[in-house]
Structure formats: structure tokens, C-alpha cells
Chain A
Amino acid sequence: MFFFKKIRYLFFSVFFLIFVSVTFLALDHENRRSIISRILVLHDFYRLKTLDHGLQVRDFSILSKKLNDYINTSKKFSKGRTYMLPGIYEATELVVSRAITQDDYNKLENIFEQLLEFDDRIYKFHIWYARSISDNDYEKALDHINIAINISPAENEAYRLAIFISEKNNDPKLANKYCIKYNDEFLGGNLPLKYGTLFNSYNNQKFFLRVNNLKDVNQLNFINSNFVINQSETYEFIFDKSTNLNGIDLHMAPLSNLILNIKEMKYFSSGAEININENDLTISSNNSYIIENLDNSLNIIVSQMKEEVLRLRHKSLENIDKLELSMTIKKMQFTNSNFCKIYK
């Protein structure tokens, strides 16, 4: 009797609790919003954590199953893409980053197929799917590579995969075609899921210049400019007032690995020119590397997908109102000239 009474109390307590919770959730819109948002964030985090074991033991069958569960949960809410898609993307990206063999990719093929059904405008969905089918239908894989290139032409994964397929099929002409295309392409970009870069995305378009002003070293005054890839270009920077300076910072967030070759720095003070020689420069950076060539020229190797600050310093100059910076910016090659005749 006492047992049944207890059960009854328990039942009513649970029922009451649910009732109160639902009422609270429905009527308090501020808290409802924050509670549901937190639950959803927790869910995404949980899904990533469930991948840990599979990633540690490199078991792509487990990983495929976990991703599939994630996708199925999303489909329970809606057949199309839901708020979960970015989370699914992130989880899949993590899994793919560990995949090496064809078998690894084959185990994930079903996942990639479903992802493409969610949204076929996403660059990496095509790349992943193309990689997974490259063993038994390379023509279809190339179709997906081409779609990916149309989505984000300058990103390198598509071209690397095309070279991989050309290599497997012993087709140097195909490899050469993709190499040339890669070299020419400058458009597109990668927008990180969780943050914006200095230029919103990693791209081969934008950079800005900050003057190292001797009177105000910490000043935040950035002059925007645009890269022109693969050609020598003189970039003009007009200062809004005469400045005493001892160098400049170049800020960029490139999509591709770039080789930057500074040809000339020409300052102007009331019309008078002041040339700064490469030999008079000191260069430092956050992530880049420098190659000093035999002819004393410098190649600055800027890493892709990193926000970079190149610090160029020289002697102090006064009353500068304009800078003309001549430089060549090239995309680095990702294969050798046997594959890519353009590099010869």
C-alpha cells in the first residue's frame, strides 16, 4: 500500500514537473529561447564527442554510423536542411580529415551522398563525394570536381583530387589541364564556420596596409586594397595626412599559399620620391617564411588559411603622403612540372 502511494506521489510529481516545465517554456519567451538554444548547442557538442572513439581507433564504419545517426536526427525535424547542417558539416569535416585510404572514403560514401541531397552548393560535399567514388566512377568524380571548382574556383582541394585521379588513370593531359586552371583561378574563398577573418573569409582578393606611424605606433588605420594574382602590380596607398613612419604592415588572409615578391617601395613626400631597397628592409611575420634568392631578391611564402601580418621595416621617413608598392603575388604550385607544363 505504502509502495503504491509512493508511486502515486512520484507519478504526480513527475507529471507536475512536466506541466510546470511546459508552462514555463511556453510562457516565458526569454528563457525559452535561451534554454532551447543551449540544449541545441549541447546536442551538437554531444554529436562531436560521440565521434571520439571512432576517430581514435580510425574505424570509419563506426564513424559512418555516428554521422548517419546525426543526419537521421536532422531528418526527423525536417527533410531538408535544418539548423543541424553546420554541425553535421563540422562533424563530417573532422571525420574526413582522418580519412586516408580509399576504403575509409568508401565507408563514408553514403554520408556524402546524403549531404549532397541536403545542399549541393557546398564545395566540400562535392570534393568528399568525388573522392569516395573516384575508385569506381572517376568520370562522375570529375563532374563533381568541376562543380566544386565552379563553386570556389581558387580552393586547392578540387585540383589536388583531380591530379590524384589523373595520376591513377595515367592521364598527364588531364593533370595539366587542372594545373593550368588552378594557376589562373583567383576567385572564391573559404568562410570559417565559427569566426570571420579580417576579410570575412580566407580569400585571394583583399589585403590591407597599416602604416607603422612613429608618432602613434598603436594606431588602427588600415588602407584597403585588392590583390592581383600572377602579375606584377603597383599598389597605390594615399595617406590622409603626412606621416612619419619606419615601415608598414601588410595584413592578409589568403585562401592559397602565396609567393610574394616585393619589387619596389616608393614613398612620396610632397612630390619627392624616396626609394626603399629590398636590402634596406627587415621583414618579420606571424606565419610566413622567406627565401632569399641568389639575385638578392626575396620570396615571401605566405601560408594559406591563416591571418597573416607581414611587418616590413626600414629607416625612419618623415612627412610621407603616398606609397607605391610594386610586388608580384603568385599562387604556389602544388605539383611539379612533370605534371604541370605551365611550371616549366
Chain B
Amino acid sequence: MKKTLKFLIIGSLPFLFVLYLTFLYSIIKSDWNYAHKSMYTYQDPFNWLEYKTKVGVVKSIINFRENSNLGLKTKRIYVEEQNQKKLLSDTPNSTKVWQDGFHYNQENKLKDMQVRFRGDNPRNWLLEKKHWRIKTRKNDVINQKRYFDYLPYNFNKYFSGLIANKIGVLSPEFNLVELYINDTSHGVYIESENLNESFLRRKKIMPVNLYKAENILDESIIALEMNAFNSPGATSKSAIFNQLDKEDKSDLTFFLELIRVSHNDRKYFDNLANIVGINHWAKFTAYQILTQNFHNDNSHNFRIVSDPWSGNLIPIAQDPLIGNLQQKNFRINYSSNDLILLLNQSSLFHHQKLENIYRILNSKEIENLIEEFQRFEKKIKISQKRDVEELVKNFNIFQLIQNLYNQNISNEKTTSENENFLKSYNEYLNRLHLYIKRKPVGGWKENKNGLTLFVDGDLPLSNLRFHFKDQKPDWVALDLNENGVLDKNEKKFYFSKEEDYLLIDYNFYSNRLNFIETTNYQSHINLKTSKTRFKFIFDVPKNPYKIEFENPFTKKIYSLEKTSFIASPYAKLNYPLNINFKNEKTIKLQGNYNFNKTKIYNEKVVIEPGTKFNLKKNVSLIFKNQVNAKGTTDAPIIFQKAEQENWGTVALVGNSTQNSFFENIIFDGGSGFVRENFTNKNFDYFSIGNIRFISSLSLHNAKNILFKNILVKNNLSYDDAIHVIYSQNISFKNLKVNKAFGDGIDIDMSENIYLQNAIIKNSKNDAVDLMESIVFINNSELVGSNDKGISVGENSFLVVKNSKISENQVGIATKDNSYSYIDNLEFKNNDFHIKNYKKNWRYGDGGISEIHNSIFEVNNSNDISKKFNQISADEDSSIKIIKSKIGNSLIDKNIFSITKKNKHINKISKVKDLENQGKLIKKND
């Protein structure tokens, strides 16, 4: 017995020894991959022995008694062990190589997919809970998403992401799921989306450049300036604007140039503020302050959309979190990148930022989210009981064994941490709210010929009321250059008849200065507010006995103290701000005009009947304010070529153009206008160089505009005769378009566009082309297009009535999750009358047409089987024909999609509801 035992012990020694060495080797290898192998990857020492042991123990305990309670929504993926090993075979490169697998899609069908790890930090793939990215097949797109990221649940990240979603900051969506890999729960994961072209489309942004800078860890570029605001080479594209070269970054460079010249020049800064999409940035920085999420800078978590159609540069909240919540310091002026640093110095931006914070806090959006989360937390707890990493985090073997018997393997510590955190976060929001609602800091003193006031801190003195006793001055003026006399550009303020005080309806902010107190490079700069003075002069040396001011957010009125002080002058970008300012200046145009260079109108414009604009090559007229152009039948307003070559575009850009009106206008010989048409980088270049115009008549971000009796002809070079993009409520009545170079009218990402009595003939491409738009056409003729009469594409909705579609290659093509409601149309001599199909995989669906009371002329009228040759739908599309005639036969017929029948039937019934509610009869009917 002794001998046997001795033999067994000695005999097993080599085996145990090899086992021991293997274990040691695995630890050293893990650590090598974790901390040494990847470039520029530094990690704190990590105790693998302890970690692996804990994981082993927790896994055994979880497996010991199976827990099948339902928690969060599950996501099941299947990846063979072999393929999982391949992902780790040659880190970090192998982690990005797609491996085959399967997943259950939303219809609960097992489908092929590919999988890889996400991110460059070895933590993402060497620990138990890995960061996954999956890619479904193109024919298995889920809600327009093909790529999904699964990140281990982190409450902080998840909640910050939810806030970003809620308050409308451009950001990926965040959902919680319980991830099962090969039918084993891996605990709670955040399901998020990948930033790519589909993301943009889902967010109603055209497919444009989406820039990314991630110069950390293995992705760092050796020896290159990392700051994306100074180094386009440090950026890559996650989505590409397909009208330019893949490598072209001129859109980004445009902004980098403008940012640079804006630092010391208010004129350029105002341009930047106008075109960069300051509202997006104000919302983004408000989000940063609300969540104290400054986990992004010039080179890390930097994602921006550069949209040449709106002209905006839009930030994306990437990799969110909730940062350290301090008692008093809200880091209102903390600037995480160079653009924010510049914007933060301006009063205009600062005001919008505070306004956003105040609005969000008042709306209780975040408090509601907290309540929603608390209701949802039970499910998370159930799923967390199967979460190895969560249990390893606060490992307690006695607790685990004790809980084993009552199946309560949850991490109560984490749960109470979350509760405490939410409580302290709520308190933080309340403190921030109070901070914005408090009395702004300021004072005033008399000086030689007026007075000086100062303001300090983050809040402004707003709407100053100067109260005088007996003798009042006639006027008070802001002495902007502090020279003690009234200059031309200095505004006078007068008493109104209604009030006994003199109102200065401006906001006065203190300077936010770009100081540092170290020679170490700072990626984030906290701008320093300083006591700032503003001087006023009076026509007579008489000072007010009382000055009152408002907090512009609460509208509460305070009295400004008279005191002695020393303060700095206001900085160029921190000018006194009148938020109600509107450019009401009107320019009247009448007669003949010859334009040699592009003209931008920021003022309101009235164009008289008979006015002719003779425009040279590429010369364009850009209107940024309301236009009232009313020609007559006898004296139309004409935009025409000055010489042989085509002119550029006539464009209406932005919200201020709303309520414009165009009547009896001829656009003859336009083309389009792009940045490259500028011969030098002048002020105009920096005013519109960010926008791409590809038609004779362009409407970008316009609203409520009426066009009546319009003729567009002889356009060349770019694309469309008319291009409507990101616009709403645009009506064309009596529109004629002849021989469009591309599409007759191209409508992208727009809503409620009306065409009434439109005649669009002989377009080189489509007569009407829709993308992500809602369009109503009535009483129109779409004739002789080389491609489609109407192309209803990419999630569009069309109502077309009482019209004639003839001699086109395809009459109406409805594609990619679009819907056409067709009533009383005549289809004649089209190669195909109706053609529905799936073209763009991103939308995961074909098209639906619902056709009422229409007449289709057919070529082979006697052969019933051939009658439908000109009406076709692929397996993903449907057509419903009601009370219509094909040739001489009256017909009611349904052609339903093979793959999406139920979905389409549902959709048709929803449109039926709209029809019953009278919503398909629009104002032009």
C-alpha cells in the first residue's frame, strides 16, 4: 500500500510538474500579451494568478446550480472554440480578423454572422468578459444595423450613454442584453452600434465623412502630431462621402483653417459659429457638463461628422461615462478639444451652452431616466447573477458559498454602489441647477462720462435696466473700444415710451481666458473666468441711481451693486451679446445685374419683376435670409448665363430663409457650386465653402418656402436641376424642368415637399428622386426620363395623385423600405410602369406600392400573362393594385413579398389608417 502510494506520488510528479509549468507559462503568456506585446500599451501590473483562480472558483459555483430565471433580453451567439482561439492567436492583430459564427436574429432564426473583438486595449480581449463586435450578413440587417458591439456592462458608461441619447446628442444607442456565447451566459452586456454610414442614415444624416481620431495604444501613429484639429493625417474615416475621393479630407481641412483664423478675428468667428452647427456643439458641451464626461480630446474618442450638405461639423459622444462629480466645480468652461476651447471663449456659444443645461435640467429628462432605470434594475440583477466578471470584481468566497444554497449569487455591493451613485448624481444635478439659477456676480462704478460695470463668474448680467431720477440722458451707448467717445459701430440705447428705465437688452459675460500655469502640455484646458468690465457713455454726465439686471435663464431681476473694482477689458470673442438680434436689413434688387463673382446675401432680399441676373461661369447667388422674388408672367425674374459657360447655383441656405417666396422665375443655365470654385480663400470662401451645391436651384436646411411658376432649364456639370435637402414644407406650384443634366428634382432627407402641376421632361436620370423623404405630388407630368419617372428610395414615403407618368425607363420605382401611395395615375409608354425592389442592403427591405384607380397602358394588351411584365416586384417587395386598369382589364391584385409579407401587410394597413384620417390629402390636393 505504502509502495503503491509512493509509486503514485512519484509517478504523478512529472505530470503535476508539467501541469504546473503549463499553468505558469499561461500566466506569463497572458501577461506578455496584456502588457508588453502591443505597441504603446502600458498597463499596471496585473495579478493573473489571483484573477484566474477567482474566475475558476466563481465559474464552478455558477455552474454548480443552474439559474434559469429570466433577466434581460438575451442575445445568443455561437462561436466555435477553435475560432475563439484564432482571435487570440496573434494579438493584437488577430483580434481584428473576422471569424465565422452564428446568431439568433430578431426573428429568432439562426443565421450566419462573423465575430471579432473590439478595441485595442488588451483588457478588452484577455479578461473573462470580452468586448465583442459582430457583423451579420447583408440580408440579415436588423433595424438598419449590421454591426453590433457588445461591451461588458458598466453602469457608468451605460447611464451616460442613455443621457446622450435622451438629450439628443449624436451618439450610438445603448441597450442592455444578457449575452450568451455557445449557450453559456456571459452576463450583462451593453449592446451598441458601430459608427458607420448606416449609423448616419439612421440618424437622418446623409452618407458623408465621419472622422475618427484614436491615437492611443496600438492605434497610435508614430511621430505624428496627434491633435486632429491640427493634423488631418491623424484621422481616419468611419464613413465616406462618396462624391469625393476616399482620401480627400478637404472638408475637414476647411474647418481647421477657419478655426485658426477665427481665434483673433470676430468676423471669421461669427462665420464659424454660423456654419459649424453651433447648436450641436452647445448641446454636446452641455452633455459633457451634465455628465462630467470629458473622456474625449483632440486625439482620443474623437468622432465628428462633416456634412457638406448642411455644412455642419457634428460631434459624436463616443465611449461615454460619468466623470468625477465635484461639490462645487462644475467645470463649465472645461474644454476637451481645440474647437470647444475656441467656442468656449465666445459669449455666443457660452450662452447657448448654459441655455441647454438649464433647459435640460428644467425638463427633468435625466431625473426621469433615473426613475426608468430604477424600474428596470431588477432585470439587470437577475442577469448579473450569471455574470462572472461582476462576481470576481468583489470576490468573497464565504459570501459566494453561502449564497450558493439560496441561489442568490448577486453582487449586492455593486447594486448599492449604483443606488448611491444615482443618489449622488441626482444631488449633483440639483447643485448644478441651483448654480445656474443663482444671482450673477457683478457691480458698477461711475467714470468720467458714463459708467463701467463688471461681471465675474459663469453667469451673465442680462437685460440691464438703468434707472435715472430727474434728469435723464437721451441715450446711453456701449463704449466698445473704451476710448470714451461714441464711434460709428457703437450702439446707442434710448428710453422706450412704455418704461421709465433704459433697457440694454444684451448679455454681458465675463472673459473665459485660455491660461495655463505649467509648461506641461495640457490636452484639456479649463478656461479661467476673470472679472471683466464693460464701459458705457452717456450724452450727458448723469448717472443712474439704480441699475437692475436679469439672470437670463430664470428671468429673475436683481439690483447691481455700486462698488469699486479693477477688471480687465472684454476679449474679442466675448462681446456683449444680443440674442434677439435678427438681420432685418432688406436689399431691393431691380433691373439688370452682372455678377463676376459669387455673392452671398445675409440680408433680406426683395427682387422686383423683370430683374435679370447675368451670371458668369460658376458664379452663384447664395441667400441666407428671406427672399421675396415676385416676377410676373410678362416680366419674369431671370437667372441666366452672362457668357457661354454655365453659372453656378441659386441657393437658399438655412432657417432664416423661411417664408421665402419665388414667383415667375426662370433659372436658365445653372450647374452647381463647390468649394473648389473659389479662386482664393477669402471671406466668402469661409462663409459657404463648407457646403456643396450640386444643382441650379438648391435648398439646404430651408423651411416653408413657396415656388410658383418656375422654369428650370439647361443645367449642366453637376447633377440635378433642383436639389432639396434637409428641408421641410417646400411647395412647387407650376414647375417646369427641361432636360435636367441629372435628376429633375432630387429630394433628400426632407419632409412635406409638395409638387403641384409639375412638368418634368427628358431628365438624364430621374424626373423626381427621393431619399429618406416624404413627398406629395399632384396633377403632374413626368415624361421621358432616361431612368425613372419617380425613384422612391431609401426609406421614403410618396403620395402621388392625378398625374401622368410616361416614356420613362421605369415609371415609379419603389425601393429599400419605401412606400408609394399612387392614386389616379396614367402610366404610358414606360419600359416598366412599376418596379419595386431591394437595392441598398442597409435598409433590409424592398419597396411597397399601393395603387388606386390608375391606368397602365400595356404593349401586349391581349396576353394577360404579359400584362404584368411592366409591373414587377422582387421577393422583398410588394404591390397592391386596387380598382385599376391594365390595358382594358379592370384589376385588383396583390403581389406580396415572399420574404416580408406580414411586415408589408402591416405597413399597408397603417397607411390605410392614415388615409382614413385624411392625412394623405394634403394642401395641394
Residues of A within 8 A of B (CB): 22-23, 25-27, 29-30, 32-33, 36-37, 40, 77-83, 85-86, 89, 119, 121-124, 150-153, 186-193, 196-203, 205-206, 208, 220-228, 233-236, 238-242, 251, 255, 268, 270-271, 321-322
Contact = CB atoms under 8 A, between A and B. Distances in A.
B243 interface: no
B222 A119 contact: yes
A318 to B, nearest CB: 13
Nearest to A238: B571
A29 B46 contact: yes
A239 B528 CA distance: 11
B865 interface: no
Given A29-B31, A153-B232, A223-B515, A201 B47 contact: no
Contacts of B518: 220, 222
Contact of A196 (B21, B28, B224, B521): B521
A201 B39 contact: no
Contact of A150 (B92, B247, B516, B528): B247
Contact of B31 (A32, A234, A271): A32
Interface in B567-602: 568-572
A14 to B, nearest CB: 15
B516 A224 contact: yes
A212 B568 CA distance: 18
Contacts, number: 213
Interface in B684-711: none
A188 B516 contact: no
Contacts of A37: 36
Nearest to A193: B223
B223 A236 contact: no
B233 A152 contact: yes
B224 A152 contact: yes
Contacts of B270: none
Contacts of B572: 236
B226 A123 contact: no
Contact of B37 (A22, A77, A122, A123): A77
Contacts of A26: 23-25, 27-28, 48-49
Given A150-B249, A196-B521, 5 more contacts: A26-B24, A29-B48, A78-B90, A80-B92, A225-B514
Contacts of B571: 236, 238
B798 to A, nearest CB: 42
Contacts of B36: 36-37, 40, 83
A231 B222 CA distance: 31
B568 A200 contact: no
Contacts of B230: 187-189, 203, 205-206
Contacts of B25: 22, 26
Interface in B251-293: 253, 256, 260-261, 263-265
B511 interface: yes
- Interface SS, A side: mixed
Contacts of B233: 121, 123, 150-153, 188
Nearest to A26: B24
8 closest A-B pairs (Cβ-Cβ)? A189-B225, A271-B482, A151-B233, A80-B93, A26-B24, A201-B225, A240-B530, A33-B45
B484 A271 contact: yes
Given A33-B45, A153-B232, A189-B230, A81 B225 contact: no
B264 A191 contact: no
Contact of A36 (B24, B32, B92): B32
Contacts of B18: none
Nearest to A219: B517
A242 B566 contact: yes
Contact of B35 (A27, A33, A89): A33
B752 interface: no
B410 interface: no
Given A197-B521, A238-B511, A188 B222 contact: no
A242 B566 CA distance: 8
B517 A222 contact: yes
B260 A271 contact: no
Nearest to B523: A200
B513 interface: yes
B483 interface: yes
B222 A238 contact: no
B231 A188 contact: yes
Contact of B223 (A123, A203, A270): A123
B548 interface: no
Nearest to A206: B230
Nearest to B256: A187
Contacts of B264: 225-226, 228, 233-236
Contacts of A224: 514-516, 525
Contacts of B256: 187
13 contacts: A32-B28, A33-B31, A80-B93, A83-B41, A89-B223, A151-B224, A152-B233, A189-B231, A191-B223, A191-B225, A220-B518, A238-B568, A242-B566
B831 interface: no
A22 B23 CA distance: 11
B836 to A, nearest CB: 43
Nearest to B35: A33
B223 A198 contact: no
A206 B91 CA distance: 37
Interface string B4-29: 00000000000000000101110110
Contact of A208 (B24, B39, B260, B516): B516
Contacts of B416: none
Nearest to B230: A205
A30 B225 contact: no
B222 A85 contact: yes
A198 B522 CA distance: 9
Contacts of B45: 29-30, 32-33
A224 B521 CA distance: 11
A32 B90 CA distance: 22
Contact of A122 (B32, B49, B224, B253): B224
A191 B521 contact: no
B38 interface: yes
Contacts of B28: 22, 25-26, 32
B519 interface: yes
A36 B30 CA distance: 13
A83 B37 contact: yes
Given A200-B225, A233-B264, A240-B568, A187 B521 contact: no
A330 B752 CA distance: 52
B713 interface: no
Interface string B496-532: 0000000000000001011111111101010010100
A6 B48 CA distance: 38
A208 B230 CA distance: 16
A270 B24 CA distance: 73
B756 interface: no
B218 interface: yes
A198 B521 contact: yes
Contact of B231 (A40, A152, A221): A152
Contacts of A119: 221-222
Given A33-B45, A36-B36, A322 B231 contact: no
A29 B47 contact: yes
B569 A271 contact: yes
Contact of A83 (B39, B48, B93, B223): B39
Which of A80, A153, A226, A321 has the most chain B CB atoms inside 10 A of its CB? A226
Interface string B66-103: 00000000000000000000000011110000000000
A271 B525 CA distance: 29
Contacts of A193: 222-223
B515 A188 contact: no
A221 B517 contact: yes
